[in-house]
Amino acid sequence: MSALADLINLDLSDSTDQIIAEYIWIGGSGLDMRSKARTLAGPVKDPSELPKWNYDGSSTGQAPGDDSEVILYPQAIFKDPFRRGNNILVMCDAYTPAGEPIPTNKRHAAAKIFSDPNVVAEETWYGIEQEYTLLQKDIKWPVGWPVGGFPGPQGPYYCGIGADKAFGRDIVDSHYKACLYAGINVSGTNGEVMPGQWEFQVGPTVGIAAADQVWVARYILERITELAGVVLSLDPKPIPGDWNGAGAHTNYSTKSMREDGGYEVIKKAIEKLGLRHKEHIAAYGEGNERRLTGKHETADINTFLWGVANRGASIRVGRDTEKDGKGYFEDRRPASNMDPYTVTSMIAESTILWKP
């Protein structure tokens, strides 16, 4: 092991009670992630024990230069898989010095929905399938693809194995274990239909915690790709043509849906989602029109339809749910670059709080 690696892997607990907290937030694009570290006196178990902090919003596209201070509010804590020990990752949201959420802070509005007594009573469960593409650093072309060329047609790559079919598995497995170490409820991972594209699943997780976990899982993934020298892409259609896009299918259920008679509740919820299709599509990610074409396991962006076991539908209901008369459904519309705070809270609002 090199001297540099020795220093990176130093166990601070041998010499001090101090820990390092990496504060994470969402940048001005609404998709880029930023972070910086600070020293704390000792181990911390709850976000309420953490100090607020600030950053230069003029350098992230979130504040003007003459009034650049943005305040970070710690919201969720995870174990740090990079520094390990008692060190932590801290998911934050961002506010003005006056305490107003800045425009890119989507967590604040989501928290209001998830704290509504009617939503709390329904114990909303989410399972989010985050698809992503790994790109070669200097040419922004998928890993495993020949430079300036294309691999063989789709077919052998989905859940495939072998050096000619699975590209980037070392990154995928590193991410899987790092998320579990951090305390993120990652339930699985798999290779996707397009070579160089992968998916991990977060959930089932209750309420706003699902969105917190997806954001931190994205952060950990991008840190790992940084180490590996590849680029993470959440573009919903990274390669034009006869190649699958990338989504973030969102599985959802409420307490009423999971109980006997829940299938009727599910159908009523899907009906409400159909009535608000345009509003949801507008909030489900940038560039989604390039993905939702009616091809490659998608419904057309302008059409709302649902079906049992239909992967070409806007909403898919599983065979088990239909058979059992209760369970969950999958919203297949969200793009891979969606904001999980927006998507999860919007689904809860539309199915529980909204009155047609």
10-residue stretch averages of pLDDT, the chain, 356 residues long: 82 91 97 97 96 97 92 98 96 97 97 98 98 95 94 96 97 98 98 97 97 98 97 96 96 98 97 97 96 89 92 93 97 97 98 94
What does the block give as tokens for 355? 């009155």
pLDDT at 172: 98
What does the block give as tokens for 220? 């950990």
Question: How many Å apart are CA 347 and CA 160, to the nearest integer?
Answer: 33
Q: What are 76's strand-pairing partners?
A: 91
Question: C-alpha distances in angstroms, 14 versus 19, 79, 202?
Answer: 12, 18, 34
pLDDT at 1: 54
172-179's contacts with Cβ under 8 Å and 24+ in sequence apart are 172/198, 172/200, 174/224, 175/200, 175/217, 175/220, 175/221, 175/224, 176/200, 177/81, 178/81, 178/82, 178/220, 178/224, 179/81, 179/217, 179/220
pTM for the complete prediction? 0.96
pLDDT at 14: 85
Question: How many Å apart are CA 240 and CA 217, to the nearest integer?
Answer: 27
Question: C-alpha distances in angstroms, 29 versus 103, 286, 311?
Answer: 11, 11, 30
Cis ω before 204 (30° cut-off from 0): yes
CA distance between the termini of the chain: 63
**What is the SS3 assignment for 48?**
helix
Residue 130 CB partners (closer than 8 Å, separation 6+): 199, 200, 201, 202, 214, 217, 218, 248, 336
Q: Give the pairing of strands 306-308 and 19-26.
A: unpaired
Question: How many Å apart are CA 234 and CA 57, to the nearest integer?
Answer: 24
Which secondary structure element, helix H or strand E, spans residue 7, and what is its range? helix 3-8
- Degrees (nearest 5) of the Cα angle 311, 313, 314? 120
